[in-house]
Amino acid sequence: MHTYELTKGVHAVGAIDPERTLFDQLIPLPQGTSYNSYLVKGSEKTALIDTVDPSKFEILAKNLEGIEKIDYVIAHHAEQDHSGSIPAILEKFPKAQVVTSAKAKDFLIKLLHIPNEKFLLIKDGETLSLGDKTLRFVFTPWVHWPETMSTYLEEDKILFTCDWFGAHIADGGFAEDTPKLRSSAKRYYAEIMMPYKEHVRNNLEKISMLDIKMIAPSHGPVYRNPDIIIDQYKEWVAPETKNLCVIAYTSMHGSTEFMAKYLETKLKERSVNALLFSLPDADIGELAIALVDARSVLVGSPTVLAAPHPYATFGAAVIGAVIPKAKYYGIFGSHLWSGRAVEIITSLLPRANTKILPPVLIKGLPEEKDLALLDALAEAIAEKHKDKSN
């Protein structure tokens, strides 16, 4: 059960999922997750804001026992962890209408086969009266799908934000500003929102016009102090980076690992913070968290069948997918004969507004003469990090 009162007439009725360990078959969930759904009862109408993952529909149905009618189901986002139980809700409350945008309607029909006649389409800024409560719809695209929107409950000043401001954590109730929650929220931002940071920045400016007393996302706890999460998002989307170099590598027989650890040491000697991630063992979420702040990123790989090691390819693909703010990228590794490792890794890394430093490829286990190349790479990164404008 995952029910609690936000304010009079507004209740959380979703579900927690502490057993879930992977999201989208990609993202580790070390703290599980929650699927938040909110029931808003006005003097005349009742609205359900988002639903839950279909695997948890029975919990949502249990939480709605005693509710005689739902007039509206607000669909903020078509992804099934929020929308997947809409068909079951419509079966349980056949007079309910699905309130969403035209773009979301198209997605929901494709994903869930909801009949066309069940939709009530709204536009950005439009309102819907529940009697003594008024819902205002605020389109917030690309946080993190193009159709995503938010809902502002005017009388109670609650902003329901669906995915953004969320956290994959199986905790219900109200947010306590703890290191655990901050870490979970940053992991969530890094994995899901960071590729769309410019859109997040624009949407932060858009909601700044609202008088927000509470933020209720669709994953994680509710913020009775919105500044806790808003201030973090402002920092994460700001263009400035920190004096941090992320080194992500894999190694088969120790040569590339030696290079990675040597670079870590030489960077720290030059007052550059360095974080080392062995890709076969790393939590991709922890890597993503580090990438939020990094000014430079190094990818290390041995050459396998004339290509990068598959773990290095995957790591580079993850870095390219989340599009961190980092300005500088480098590639290093060990090989014995020619290959396309540098070309392939480079093609996967972010290219816009970034600089690829000269790669360092060494044949076999580095010798004394090879260390000068690694020293030069560490020195180049240290010089780049001295530039405060980056």
What pLDDT is stored for residue 37 in this prediction?
A: 97
Listed in sequence order, the residues at least 6 apart from 241 whose beta carbon sits closer than 8 Å to its beta carbon are: 293, 294, 295, 325, 326, 327, 390
pLDDT in tens, 101-146: 999 999 999 999 999 999 999 999 999 999 999 999 999 999 999 9
> Does the structure show a pLDDT above 60 at 272?
yes
Determine whether domain 245-383 maps to CATH 3.40.50.360.
Answer: yes
CATH homologous superfamily, domain 4-236: Ribonuclease Z/Hydroxyacylglutathione hydrolase-like (3.60.15.10)
Q: How confident is the model at residue 222 (pLDDT cuts 50, 70, 90)?
A: very high
Under DSSP, is residue 22 helix (H, G, I), strand (E, B) or coil?
strand
pLDDT in tens, 301-326: 999 888 899 999 999 999 999 999 99
Structure tokens at 154: 């005017």
Under DSSP, is residue 335 helix (H, G, I), strand (E, B) or coil?
strand
- Neighbouring CB atoms inside 10 A of 212's CB total 17
> Does the structure show a pLDDT above 60 at 390?
no
Q: Where are the domains of the chain?
A: 4-236, 245-383
> Does the structure show a pLDDT above 80 at 248?
yes
Q: How far apart are CA 9 and CA 218, in angstroms?
A: 18
What pLDDT is stored for residue 305 in this prediction?
A: 86
> Does the structure show a pLDDT above 60 at 65?
yes
> Does the structure show a pLDDT above 90 at 48?
yes
Contact assessment for residue 356 and residue 329, using Cβ atoms and an 8 Å cutoff? yes
What pLDDT is stored for residue 366 in this prediction?
A: 86
Structure tokens at 306: 């004339």
Q: How far apart are CA 251 and CA 246, in angstroms?
A: 16
Q: How confident is the model at residue 1 (pLDDT cuts 50, 70, 90)?
A: low
Report helix, strand and coil shares of the chain as percent, to nearest 5.
35, 25, 40
Contact assessment for residue 152 and residue 140, using Cβ atoms and an 8 Å cutoff? no
Please give the mean pLDDT across all residues of the chain.
94
What pLDDT is stored for residue 220 in this prediction?
A: 93
> Does the structure show a pLDDT above 80 at 240?
yes
Under DSSP, is residue 119 helix (H, G, I), strand (E, B) or coil?
strand
Contact assessment for residue 382 and residue 272, using Cβ atoms and an 8 Å cutoff? yes
Using a pLDDT cut of 70, give the percent of the chain over it: 99
What pLDDT is stored for residue 196 in this prediction?
A: 95
Buried-exposed string 347-380: b where 16+ CB fall within 10 A, e elsewhere: ebbbeeebeebebbbbeeebeeebeebbeebbee
pLDDT in tens, 184-216: 999 999 999 999 999 999 999 999 999 999 999
Altogether, the residues listed in the chain come to a count of: 390
- Neighbouring CB atoms inside 10 A of 4's CB total 12
List, in sequence order, every beta strand (DSSP E) within 140-279: 149-153, 158-162, 214-217, 244-249, 273-278
Using a pLDDT cut of 90, give the percent of the chain over it: 85
Query: In 3D, which of 219, 234, 241 has the Cα closest to residue 56?
Result: 219
Query: In 3D, which of 319, 304, 297 has the Cα closest to residue 377?
Result: 297
What pLDDT is stored for residue 280 in this prediction?
A: 94
What pLDDT is stored for residue 351 in this prediction?
A: 85
What are the φ and ψ backbone dihedral angles of 204, each rounded to 5 degrees? Answer: -60, -40
Q: How far apart are CA 220 and CA 74, in angstroms?
A: 19
What pLDDT is stored for residue 387 in this prediction?
A: 76
What value, to the nearest 5°, has the Cα angle with vertex 326 and ends 323 and 329? 100
Contact assessment for residue 346 and residue 285, using Cβ atoms and an 8 Å cutoff? no
- Eight-state DSSP code of residue 223: B
Contact assessment for residue 255 and residue 215, using Cβ atoms and an 8 Å cutoff? no
Q: How far apart are CA 160 and CA 207, in angstroms?
A: 11
What pLDDT is stored for residue 30 in this prediction?
A: 84
> Does the structure show a pLDDT above 70 at 55?
yes
What is the model's pTM?
0.91
Residue 307's Cβ-count burial label (10 Å; 0-12, 13-18, 19+) is: middle
Query: How large is the average pLDDT for residues 265-275?
Result: 97
Query: How large is the average pLDDT for residues 4-16?
Result: 96
> Does the structure show a pLDDT above 70 at 388?
no
Query: How large is the average pLDDT for residues 296-303?
Result: 95
What value, to the nearest 5°, has the Cα angle with vertex 256 and ends 251 and 262? 130
- Neighbouring CB atoms inside 10 A of 1's CB total 10
Structure tokens at 311: 């773990």
Contact assessment for residue 57 and residue 88, using Cβ atoms and an 8 Å cutoff? yes
